[in-house]
Chains A and B, each alone.
Chain A
Amino acid sequence: MSDQTTQAPHTVARVPRTPSANEEPYLEVTDLHVQFPTADGLVKAVQGLSYSVPLRRTLAIVGESGSGKSVSSMAVLGLHDRRVARITGSIKVGGREVVGMSDKDLEGYRGGDASMIFQDPQSSLHPYFTVGDQIMESYRAHHNVSKRKAKERAVDMLGRVGIPNPRRRVDQYPHEFSGGMRQRAMIAMALVNDPKLLIADEPTTALDVTVQAQILDLIADLQRDFGSAVVFITHDLGVVAEIADDILVMYAGTAVEHGPVNKILGEPLHPYSWGLLESIPALTGEPAPLHPIPGSPPSLLAVPSGCPFHPRCEFKDRVPDDLCRTLKPELISRTADLGRTSRCHLKDPDKVFETDVLPRLP
């Protein structure tokens, strides 16, 4: 029997995020292009992507499969095989250029200044080594310390991410951990070298909601302690609303909307963002039919001309001269609010949102 006799649940306050300040960016991506030549043609996975994240800030990158969100983040860590991927543009992390970095420099950079949490902890942990071994390996790759010291560090990290009984757990294998604990172990491994940049690629998608809630709290806590810049890749707008300061919406390899999270989710200005919001069923109110975006995302082998979203856009008729089909719009500020940008030809997207979209949001 538990010693809790109180009738109140253990609750955690959800802290609203404060609006972003103008700070020195730690990660700065400028005009990034990633292309893969294949037998079927050139896959243009990322086209002209630019964004920046300062320390202690979280940027959420949102988009569907094939939008380029994972490909661009893997480029930030230098994870693409340069024999396969063509990468141009610039990725600066703490002032250092990652594009074209030598393998030797990349080894020191990856897992040190920057690290990554993957979606599937089951396949990202080696089944043959203990969890402790894998965390120690990462630590010793960047620190010249004894095995005993490294193990102390591993135990410490497992404790930090909330794994009970870390001294025993450190010698266990991944299969002895539950899904949520494996994801915690991955996070411990990613944070063992105090990275200043953490990229989390759908870290909670494979988890149940109660475990997801624990992991989101954990990432927020750790970010506060370590002061890292976090790039959070997800397709769940609810998660974004809770964890992000800024949001970047991607579609077919390009950014279509970028700005503070409350602005982009509260009053989005791009028809694709509208479509995403209209596709999510609400937890309150009378369920109304959803208004999904028609069609499906384009193949990156043949990205549509002009605005890549135009074949699925219900507002393209409001733009004169067939502009959406012929000219790709710039990612610029469309309203008086200069802190946000979007990529759309619509004259007054804020008014269209008010009159056409807002009334039918779930």
Chain B
Amino acid sequence: MIWARNRIISLVIGFLGLVLFDKFILGLSASYDYVKIVVMMCGVFVTLAVSLNLINGITGQFSIGHAAFFQVGAYTCALLSSSVFQSFSQKQPVLWLLFAALFGAIGAAIAGFIIGLPSLRLKGDYLAVVTLGFGEIISIIVRNQKALGEAYGKPVDKIHSVFMVWGLAVLAIAVCRNLLKTAHGLSFLAVREDEVASSAMGVNVTKIKVTAFVIGSAFAGAAGALMAHTKAFVTPQDFSMDVSFIILTMVVLGGTGSITGSVIAAIIFYIIPEKMRDLPPSIPMHVPVAALFGIIAAVIGMRAVQQKIHDEKLKAAGLYVLSMIGGTIVAFMLNLLLKAVPPLQATIIGSNLRMPVLAITLVVLMLLRPQGIFGHHEFSLDWVKGLFKRKSVATSGGIAQ
């Protein structure tokens, strides 16, 4: 049984990796708790992005209310751990996490089923508006319920487990990957490609759309439950519309439909804003302004390069680096010049730059690579090889014709 052996090997490697990570790398860090929370939140966002990718990328249903399912899961868990299961969650915290994830998943799956139903009749923009509205409804209900802590939020027991969070992320990845490896997954993709044709081929489009919503929201709910225990507090701000958009952004930037793309984009776009908190408290205005012009110069340079060469990937990569150096030089020169401009000598708080930097990163990425980091592809060694090989394949095809 090759499939069983391979799976056991990868499970063992994954498990050992997590143990090493937990015991050594995290232990080495001075701010142990902070790093641990960042690592766990990364796992939460990976789960969220991968599960939204199942709905948006693989099944092609445009949902922008993913934070709502996340919220349903978190609040389900917060409610249960402070009432019915209070003693259980205090005596057996790690075991409780497992149950919390399960309850969060069930709660969110029910919500997913309900929101999946209108998607049978609605497509594209219209469905997006409905999911957005659903997200707001959940958020407003929570803000106005005394039992749910209203706008203030609700404390939850602090239970930290890198294992559980990343275990969930791995499970979400495995489920999506398994799906895509089988004929079932192809029918999900077929719904994305053409509903009329899939239906004419006997695919039950309705069932597939609802299934995608239920599975996707169940994972988001489980992630919510684990996040509640990670942060030890749930508040409506953690599940605002922005969160939905950030998750959506991760999926789009990773490349819609690409699981590895969602994973990598989720990690990058959680870490960047998080790391930016460390920026110095006062930065003179001319630095970011000069940097902005540098970025514009680099983007213009890269766009020009992209249009000049299509196939010669290696050469293109070299020129990417060159234009980035060019952008840096432009930024540096401008910095010297702009220093002399009095209004730009005022200072701003470094951590306020977090969101602008994220926004600029998005714009740049979309200009340079509109199909997302990986496009429809998965990251693999073959894909990397393909990047360099494409040119030779194209020429041989040309000769054959």
Q: Does A pair with B? A: no
